[in-house]
Structure formats: structure tokens, C-alpha cells
Chain A
Amino acid sequence: MSARAKSPVFEYAPAPESREIARLKPSYQIFIDGRFRDGSGDAVKTINPADEQPLAEVAEAGPADVADAVAAARRAYEGPWSAMPGKERGKYLFRIARAIQERGRELAVLESLDNGKPIRESRDVDVPVAAAHFFYYAGWADKLGYGGFGPDPRPVGVAGQIIPWNFPLLMAAWKIAPALACGNTVVLKPAETTPLTALVLAEIIAEAELPAGVVNVLAGGPAIGAAIVEHDDVDKIAFTGSTEVGKIIQRTLAGTSKRLSLELGGKAANIVFDDAPLDQAVEGIVNGIFFNQGQVCCAGSRLLVQESVADELIDSLQRRLATLRVGDPLDKNTDVGAINSAAQLARIRELTESGVAEGATRWSPPCELPERGFWFAPTVFTGVSPAHRIAREEIFGPVLSVLTFRTPAEALEKANNTPYGLSAGVWTEKGSRILSMAAQLRAGVVWANTFNRFDPSAPFGGYKESGFGREGGRHGLEAYLAH
């Protein structure tokens, strides 16, 4: 036995990545026809959500830039790109994949600065999975005839791609890689609050010497997105974002021959049975709702826990949440970073307040939030009824709503009782129950005894109002091939 004094606290060091690594530039330009240029729209400052300080100025695109970008994409499509043998296209994609890996640390730090997500996630998920997507689809470029879409499938043409702010680089990869592999050209619009990594990706694409116009990246807001959607010479729209905007796009494309794929919102049920591996279920719940601050369309935002094990599970969950570290996104010890924007923070607050007003019980672990920046403590609501707004509406934040159930049938009924259908989780050690639940959950991805797993080879996408079309895997080719 030691006589030594105990440490008052076993403290984790701030272990920040240096922002120097991000090679942040004072200003960023949009990318059209193989060249960087100032957009004709406003020069907008993109800010670091962790401290509200400006990161860089971005010369956003205006309507004329959309026209130029689409024209450039059309020329590249009619010109070199669609005629290029698949194996050559594939080699360009391999180059991009490798370059993302080589500049991985830079991209990770930049992503955390611009988005607010913990460096642990940008480093371990966003960037490597983005590279993996290019790797995966690079290999498809000369094998499309084996994809099950006919012996000689043709590209669609010019694809307009609009992506959200929650996984800026990763979503760009999800969109661009399959489009290019299939021989399409691209006009990509990153989200207004997170344009930087997509613009660095444009740099990578330029350095990979892709033919001019094959990929065009337009920073801008909703008006630029709408201009892309409405442009007559765009053949396909791929959108990831809110269900609300997805519906607007679907309406806009009504009566046109433009193809559409939508990856929209969700309100996933994470179902824990009393025979679950509880310690891993707790981890899965934490990962399910606090990964990327819960700003994930497939977040496990509704915890459905079997009543017989609810108290025990919630105790364990609360104990675990007390160890979550909220703070500086660049700190390698950080588990939960900043909310992406003031607007998103306001929405999270509004919905959270509705949860309290409607009678649910709110709990957060003790945690000190930084004074500046957009922060929201991990929050758990118990005593949630299916009728509460926090049980129905997508919060897109670190807020978990806990409901209970008694039987598998009740769990299913509650899980499926939503207009969304993107993802679901099931935790039980009983194999036959997993298969039964997986078959009956109306959701595009079912994670059993795990959560939030992503892989380029695994198709991802929604049922019902969570959208249509799949990204990833062989299925992900379909959106970019004419048929």
C-alpha cells in the first residue's frame, strides 16, 4: 500500500492540433473550369464556430458563376470526360484519393476549424472515409459494365450536387467520387457555413490535373443552390440536407427530365432490449447521438429502451456522459465540439425548450462550456412521450430523447412511427430478434449492436421522407448512370 497522496484530479491535457497545420489562407476562391477565381457574389467571412472568430473570406458565387460552371461542366462532359476510357478516369480518382490521404492532417484541422467538430472525428472519420470513397469508386470507373446496369452504361451528364455543413469534405467525396467514376461532370455547392475543405478539395483536384470543368466548386448560399437546381443544362441533382429543402427541390424538378437523388433528414430509433450488451449499448447510444454533436441525419436521436432495463441503462448512460469532454474541437481529447452555427444552435435551443415545456425531464452532465462560440451541452430527455416535438422533429443536435417500450412489437411500432426512415439501431444478444427487427424497421440502414458505421462499399440512404437513391456501394452508381 502506498502512502502517496492521491491526485486531486486526473487531468487530461489540452492536446490541441496546431491551426498552422490547416494552412488557412486569408481568402478562398471558387473553382470553375479548372481555375480559381473570385465569385461574383458577396465576399463572406466563414467563422470558426468554436470561438466565433472569422477564419477566412470566401468570394461566393453569383448567378453568372453558376452559368459559367454549368457551361464548363457541359464542355468537359461533351469534351474529354465522358469519352475518356474508364480506366483513365479511375486513375484520376485514385490520384485524388491519395492526395486526400497525403494532406489528411491539413484537411482534418481545417474541417474542425470550419465546422466545429472534434479533431478526433475529422481525423479518424471524415478525412479517411472521404479518401476511401474516392478509392472505392476509382475502381468502379472501368468496371461499370459489371454493375448490373446493362453492359455499357452511360453517364447522365452534368450533375449538380448540393451538400450540407455537417460533413463538408466527406459529403463532397460521397457526391463527386461516384459521379466522376460514372463519367459525369460536376457542379458542387458546399454549404455556406463550411466551404473551406471543399475548396481545398478543388485544389487537390486541380493538382491532380483533372481536365478543366470536370469538377466545379461554387461556394454560396441557398440562392446558388436554387440556381443550380433550376439550371436547364443540369441533368441530375444530388442533394443532401433537410427534408424541407429536399421537397422544394423535388417540386422544382417536377415536369423536367432531370434525375434526382435525395438524402434528407431522420429521427432514428436506437432500440435497446433488456438482453443487450449494455456497456456496448451505452457506447452505441453515446456515439449515436453525440457523434458530430448530433448533427447527423442518421443520428440515433430517439432511444427506445425496454422498460425492464430502462433505469439501469439510463444510470449507466448518465455515468458515461459525465466523462464526455466538451470543448475545443482541435483538442485531441475532445469528444463533443461546437455547434456549427448560431442558427443551428438557436434551433437546438428552441426544440430543447419545447421538450421542457411539454413535460419531459431534461438532464445534462456537469460541463463547462466555453464563453465564446456556439456550444450546447450533451442533453438527455427522459419521460418523453411519442407526441412530444422532441420525439418527432429532427433536432440535429446533441439531444437524446428517451422513450420506453415493453415488447418487440411496441418497439417496432414506435420506431416506425415517423415520416422519416433513414436509420435505426437494435441492441440485443438474440440473433433471431435482430433479424426480425432489421426486417421490419422501415429504415435504409439498420445497425445491430453497433451504430453510425459508414463504409464506401455499403449503400446508405433513406426510406420515406428521408429521401431516395443510395450513396455508397454498387447501388451508389445508379444515380449517376443513364437508364
Chain B
Amino acid sequence: MSTLARPDLRDVSRDDTSLRRFLHGLPGVDQVGAEGRAAGLATRSIKTTSKAWAIDTAIAMIDLTTLEGADTPGKVRSLCAKAARPDSSDASVPSVAAVCVYPDLVATAVLALRGTSVGVASVATAFPSGRASLDTKLHDVRDAVAAGATEIDMVIDRGAFLAGHYVQVFDEIVATKAACGAAHLKVILETGELATLDNARRASWLALLAGGDFIKTSTGKVSPAATPPVALVMLEAVRDYHAMTGERRGVKLAGGIRASKEAVRYLVMVNEVAGQAWLDPALFRFGASSLLNDLLLQRHKLASGSYDGPDYVTVD
């Protein structure tokens, strides 16, 4: 992105017009070409030794998630146990990166994960729709942080974005980041609602410019959620942001990723598009729940040479 000539990024967000100029000045994304590239990357096959590494890495990148109206402290506690020790029979399986819960269950999770390396992420800002006043959203964030959340997954105001009120979206991210304090901020773009890859790219940049530590595809409540072309575009954004500023920001794919094969394909994409530095839970996450068990089954298969059934991994 050298031709962007390192604009004064504070200046870019001065008003809707200048933000619009910047975001719409980003190179367009040709949908067919992006889909073709994503499909091409999916044909890579990786070494068995790399595959074992990839499976463990993918496990360590998971934000083990439960975001149901029916969530209870009991459900969250068992999820936390699984997060800390995904395979009770095998201590070599790494812990996941974090558990991800609603704000009111953060305290439960913090308690359950005390003494482990697993972080506590919380969706906040009137997740999943984001349809609340900024005050309410910030209150939501502060609650979660106060309860001990180390990571906040916020949603952007997609309505404002689609209406071209980029400064509003930008300011909300800035305010949320301030409310996070030391907690890491992941900015959910909900690309399924943004509809186009051009918008995915613009929203990615908007979130990066506003200070998001991660850009995240989706809430998991809207279809389509994470798709290979969207992941490609978001990885290109962090790659280009790094080229421009020297800073590395993260990407989180959430929603619909259930199979180890998909996860490994995404790791191939991360490796080839953003680069090897991003093959790290500090810079890449999967927001998932059932993916973990599939990774564990694959891990068993690699270790034993035979396939396991679902009875051999725990439901939570």
C-alpha cells in the first residue's frame, strides 16, 4: 500500500467525506477473482507433520464460544473446563485461546478459568444486532471488562456503515476501545450483512484505523458468516495495514467453521496471504464450538491411524 503514501490516519477520520474518500479509494475487490483465489488456496495439501502442528495450532486459536439465550453458569463452567483441557485423556493437547460468552456470564468464566492460560472474551455492544444507544453499548463493554473479560468482541453499527455514516462507526469503535482499557478489542464486521467484498475491505480498514486489535467476520447469527473470500479480503487488509504502518493486527473468523479440513485450509490462507507471522493465536482466531471436537478427532486419527467417533470426545 505504498501508494497510499502513509496518509495521516487521524486526518482520514476527520469527517464522513474524508473517511469515504479513503475507504472508497482502496482498490476494489473483484468478487469472481477473489473467490477464484480463495478456491485455489483450498487445494493445497500439507505435510502430515505440518498437519499435526496445524491441528494443535488451530486448537490454540479457538475462541470456544457459547452465545445462546439458554446459556447458564453450568454450561459455561463445563465449556471452560473443556477450553482449558480439551482432551481429558491427553495433556499434550493445548488449551484453546479463550472462551467467548455473553457479558453476564463473564464472571462465571473468569472464576472457572482461574489459573489457566485461557482468556475470557465477551461479546458486548448490544450483540448481535448492535441496535442500542452508544451509552448502552459502552455500558455493556464496561460491565464485561469489570467482570474480568480480557477480550471484547464488539459489533459495528452495520446500518450506519451501509448508510455511509463512517465517522459514526469509527467513533463507536474508538469509544469502545477506550472502554476496553487493557482488554483486547475485536471488531465484528458482520460481513454477511455488508454483502459485498468491497464493503468487507472498507469495513476492515475502518476498524483497523479506529484501533481494533482484531477484525472479526461475523457474529455467527447471520448467514453467510465466515467464508473463504471474506477471510481472504480481511487477511489482505491486515497484510496491507502492516505494510503501511508496520503494525500487525489480528483476524478472527467466526461462524460456520466446523471441520478440521476447513480450519487447516484457512491456516494455509493465513500463511500465504498474510504470512507466517499470523500463524499465531495472538493474530488469528477461530470463533467456534463444534470445530474443537473435529480437531480432536483428527488429532486422534493422526496419533492412532484409525478414525474415532463422536463418543470419544466430550460434548462440552
Contact = CB atoms under 8 A, between A and B. Distances in A.
Direct contact, A vs B (beta carbon within 8 Å): yes
Contacts of B280: 2, 6
B50 interface: yes
Interface centre among A120, A275, A283 (most CB of B within 10 A): A283
A368 interface: no
A280 interface: yes
Interface in A264-301: 274-280, 283-284
Interface in A65-119: none
Interface centre among B2, B28, B271, B276 (most CB of A within 10 A): B28
B267 A10 contact: yes
Interface stretch (A137-145, A307-315, A467-475): A307-315
B34 interface: yes
Contacts of B53: 7, 10
Contact of B94 (A2, A120, A277, A278): A2
Contacts of B60: 2, 4
A280 B2 contact: no
A276 B53 CA distance: 38
B117 A2 contact: yes
Given A277-B29, A279-B236, A1 B119 contact: yes
Contacts of A323: 272
A243 interface: no
Given A277-B30, A309-B3, A449-B33, A4 B94 contact: yes
B34 A13 contact: no
B98 to A, nearest CB: 9
B54 interface: yes
Interface in A1-36: 1-4, 6-7, 9-13, 15
Contacts of A309: 3
Contact of A10 (B46, B56, B94, B95): B46
A233 interface: no
Interface in B10-60: 27-30, 32-34, 36-37, 43-51, 53-54, 56-57, 60
A203 interface: no
A312 B56 CA distance: 36
Contacts of A4: 56-57, 60, 94
B182 to A, nearest CB: 14
A333 interface: yes
B33 A284 contact: yes
A120 B150 CA distance: 44
B97 interface: yes
A279 B119 contact: no
Contacts of B32: 449-450
* Main SS class of interface, A: loop
B50 A13 contact: yes
B48 A13 contact: yes
A284 B33 CA distance: 8
B28 A429 contact: yes
A332 interface: yes
Contacts of A274: 3
A366 to B, nearest CB: 15
B33 A283 contact: yes
Contacts of B271: 10
Contacts of B27: 275-279
A13 B46 contact: yes
A125 B45 CA distance: 19
A39 B179 CA distance: 83
Contacts of B29: 277, 279-280
Contact of A280 (B33, B44, B47, B97): B33
A12 B2 CA distance: 31
B282 interface: yes
Interface centre among A120, A275, A277 (most CB of B within 10 A): A277
29 contacts: A1-B282, A2-B61, A2-B94, A2-B95, A4-B60, A7-B50, A9-B50, A9-B276, A11-B46, A11-B49, A12-B44, A12-B47, A13-B46, A13-B47, A13-B50, A274-B3, A278-B27, A279-B34, A280-B33, A280-B34, A283-B37, A309-B3, A311-B2, A312-B1, A312-B3, A315-B2, A323-B272, A449-B33, A450-B32
Given A2-B60, A277-B27, A332-B45, 12 more contacts: A1-B281, A2-B281, A6-B280, A7-B53, A12-B46, A13-B51, A275-B27, A279-B29, A284-B33, A312-B2, A333-B45, A450-B33
Interface of A: 1-4, 6-7, 9-13, 15, 120, 274-280, 283-284, 308-309, 311-312, 315, 323, 332-333, 429, 449-450
Interface of B: 1-3, 27-30, 32-34, 36-37, 43-51, 53-54, 56-57, 60-61, 94-95, 97, 117, 119, 236, 267-268, 271-272, 276, 279-282
Counting from the closest, the 3 A-B pairs by CB-CB distance are A280-B33, A13-B47, A2-B60
